[in-house]
């Protein structure tokens, strides 16, 4: 028995958006669904598979909507992150990353054994990682369709993970493929080639050229492997900023954008265009919003919102009021305050007004919230738990 009345559920289906407590993270269902369809339709035109990155949302209900729209499965970035999605019924999960060690490999191998017809895969760029995976797979007795898929990651210019310089000399990639082939519980699934640096190149023509150069590096590795009789079944990579170009590249057989479903401010800052030779700069609509309230107008020339670093991430720049407000400076985020300087000609701030914001960067913002409030026509239709929050190993 508690002394104080516990909090009621602050949002419920049927509720009007205007009556929600703030700050609240909302998904607008109509633009979200259009974003999924837009990517799927473009991918279909090019005969390329879509495997959205679920690190963007960590939300099984979002992943299931992506699969219903035609995605072949999802990517995650960590082994433990896979669990809520598997449990929710996603049948194909790719860990687009290197694992930290035997603990993570052990869980993936265990889930591969437990899931009937479930496909799990992971990346490597070192034979020691192959050995760790092989051991985990052997311990679970994985064979046939249960085997862990292993992608050799190649670095195509980002300088993060992946075998470097494979476009000039693919022998290290071949050694990894040989090691994977020698392990009974593993199967060589293909290549991963992702270039994060291309995604936010602002100038559209420059972004297209960078995406082309990165895809060409991946294409050279594919050609070298083919010449050695090793044709990768899947070449996976790409992100929201380059996906239109990558779909038309002729190199990728699968794309893995994440932010496209939500469109944060950082991606909206990319210049639109750069279309050329069948490659289209795919643009997406804003579907993710943080509702916040003006809680102070006491200091002349500014207003203060009830959102801060605990509800919005700031490392990719500030959130954007939507629609944009004339005379408002950037929203400067403290822990629990968002401070906006007002120009002399700005409309007077209204205490208690609800302000809709586009997050600066969707992935870390979603990771700050327990659930997404789903809106359709201004009313709550669903509450979607962000179940993989904290699944970080
Ligand atoms: N694939 C990998 C391996 C990534 O690390 C990322 C993002 O960091 C993505 C795909 C694409 O994500 P987004 O489209 O949200 O930029
Ligand atoms: Mn991101």
Average pLDDT over residues 99-120: 97
CA of 109 to the centre of ligand 2 (A): 28
The proportion of the chain whose per-residue pLDDT surpasses 90, expressed as a percent, equals 95
Ligand 1 pocket: which of 66, 121, 122, 258 to mutate (most atoms within 8 A of CB): 258
Outline where 11-151 has alpha helix (H): 29-46, 60-68, 82-88, 102-114, 127-139
Residue 291 CB–ligand 1 contact under 6 Å: no
Q: Which of 238, 290, 239, 237 is nearest to 265 (CA)?
A: 290
- pLDDT classification of 2: cutoffs 50, 70, 90: confident
pLDDT at 274: 84
Average pLDDT over residues 265-274: 95
Q: What is the pLDDT of residues 217-241, one digit of tens each?
A: 999 999 999 999 999 999 999 999 9
pLDDT at 324: 96
User: 127-139 and 171-181 are packed helices; what angle lies between their axes, rounded to 10 degrees?
Assistant: 10
- pLDDT classification of 10: cutoffs 50, 70, 90: confident
Range scoring the smallest mean pLDDT among 6-10, 238-242, 320-324, 378-382: 6-10
Tell me yes or no: is domain 17-25+285-385 CATH 2.40.160.10.
no
Nearest protein CA to atom 6 of ligand 1, as residue: 239
Residues sharing a CB contact under 8 Å with residue 376, sequence separation 6 or more, in sequence order: 28, 29, 30
pLDDT at 276: 84
Does this chain's domain 17-25+285-385 share its CATH topology with 29-268? no
Q: What is the four-CA torsion angle of 61, 64, 70, 71, rounded to 10 degrees?
A: 100
290 and 284 in contact (C-beta within 8 Å)? no
Delimit the domains of the chain by residue range: 17-25+285-385, 29-268
Average pLDDT over residues 276-302: 94
Could you give the CA distance from residue 152 to residue 189 in angstroms, rounded to a whole number? 8
Residue 256 CB–ligand 1 contact under 6 Å: yes
The pLDDT of residue 311 is above 90: yes
pLDDT at 275: 86
Ligand nearest to the CA of 262: 1
In three-state secondary structure terms, 206 is helix
Q: What 8-state DSSP symbol labels residue 327?
A: T
Average pLDDT over residues 44-71: 98
Q: What is the pLDDT of residues 156-203, one digit of tens each?
A: 999 999 999 999 999 999 999 999 999 999 999 999 999 999 999 999
Give the mean pLDDT of the chain. 97
Residue 284 CB–ligand 1 contact under 6 Å: no
Q: Which of 348, 240, 244, 341 is nearest to 288 (CA)?
A: 240
Residue 311 CB–ligand 1 contact under 6 Å: no
- pLDDT classification of 374: cutoffs 50, 70, 90: very high
Token code pair at residue 372: 């997404």
The pLDDT of residue 378 is above 90: yes
This model of the complex carries an ipTM of 0.99
Q: What is the pLDDT of residues 115-158, one digit of tens each?
A: 989 999 999 999 999 999 999 999 999 999 999 999 999 999 99
Average pLDDT over residues 206-220: 98
117 and 128 in contact (C-beta within 8 Å)? no
Tell me yes or no: is domain 29-268 CATH 3.30.70.1400.
no
199 Cα nearest atom in ligand 1: 16
Residues sharing a CB contact under 8 Å with residue 149, sequence separation 6 or more, in sequence order: 94, 119, 120, 121, 122, 186, 187, 189
The pLDDT of residue 376 is above 80: yes
Give the number of other CB atoms < 10 A from CB of residue 74.
30
pLDDT at 71: 98
Q: What 8-state DSSP symbol labels residue 122?
A: E
Nearest protein CA to atom 16 of ligand 1, as residue: 239
The pLDDT of residue 1 is above 80: no
Residue 199 CB–ligand 1 contact under 6 Å: yes
Q: Which residues are within 5 Å of ligand 2 (an ion), measured at CB? A: 363
- pLDDT classification of 23: cutoffs 50, 70, 90: very high
The single residue listed with the structure tokens 């930290």 is 100
Ligand nearest to the CA of 258: 1
pLDDT at 279: 83
199 and 281 in contact (C-beta within 8 Å)? no
């Amino acid at each position: 028995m508690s002394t104080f009345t516990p909090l009621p559920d602050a949002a419920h289906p049927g509720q009007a958006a205007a009556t929600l407590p703030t700050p609240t993270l909302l998904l607008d269902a109509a633009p979200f669904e259009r974003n999924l369809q837009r990517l799927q339709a473009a991918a279909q035109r090019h005969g390329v598979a879509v495997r959205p990155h679920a690190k963007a949302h960590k939300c099984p209900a979002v992943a299931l909507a992506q699969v219903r729209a035609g995605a072949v499965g999802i990517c995650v970035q960590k082994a433990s992150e896979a669990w809520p999605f598997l449990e929710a019924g996603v049948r194909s999960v790719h860990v687009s990353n290197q694992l930290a060690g035997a603990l993570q490999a052990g869980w993936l191998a265990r889930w591969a054994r437990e899931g009937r017809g479930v496909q799990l895969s992971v990346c490597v760029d070192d034979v020691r990682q192959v050995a760790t995976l092989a051991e985990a797979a052997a311990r679970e007795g994985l064979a046939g369709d249960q085997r862990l898929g292993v992608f050799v990651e190649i670095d195509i210019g980002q300088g993060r993970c992946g075998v470097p310089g494979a476009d000039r000399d693919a022998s290290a990639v071949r050694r990894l493929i040989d090691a994977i082939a020698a392990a009974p519980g593993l199967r060589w699934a293909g290549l991963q080639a992702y270039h994060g640096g291309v995604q936010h190149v602002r100038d559209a023509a420059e972004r297209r050229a960078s995406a082309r150069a990165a895809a060409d590096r991946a294409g050279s590795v594919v050609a070298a492997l083919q010449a050695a009789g090793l044709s990768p079944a899947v070449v996976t990579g790409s992100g929201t900023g380059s996906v239109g170009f990558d779909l038309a590249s002729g190199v990728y057989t699968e794309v893995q954008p994440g932010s496209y479903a939500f469109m944060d401010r950082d991606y909206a800052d990319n210049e639109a265009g750069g279309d050329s030779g069948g490659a289209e700069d795919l643009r997406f609509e804003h579907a993710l919003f943080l509702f916040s309230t003006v809680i102070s107008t006491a200091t002349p020339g500014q207003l203060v919102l009830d959102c801060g670093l605990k509800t919005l991430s700031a490392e990719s720049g500030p959130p954007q009021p939507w629609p944009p407000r004339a005379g408002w400076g950037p929203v400067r985020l403290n822990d629990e305050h968002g401070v906006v300087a007002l120009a002399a000609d700005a409309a007077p701030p209204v205490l208690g007004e609800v302000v809709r914001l586009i997050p600066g960067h969707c992935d870390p913002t979603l990771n700050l919230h327990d659930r997404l409030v789903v809106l359709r026509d201004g009313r709550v239709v669903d509450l979607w738990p962000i179940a993989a929050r904290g699944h970080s190993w």
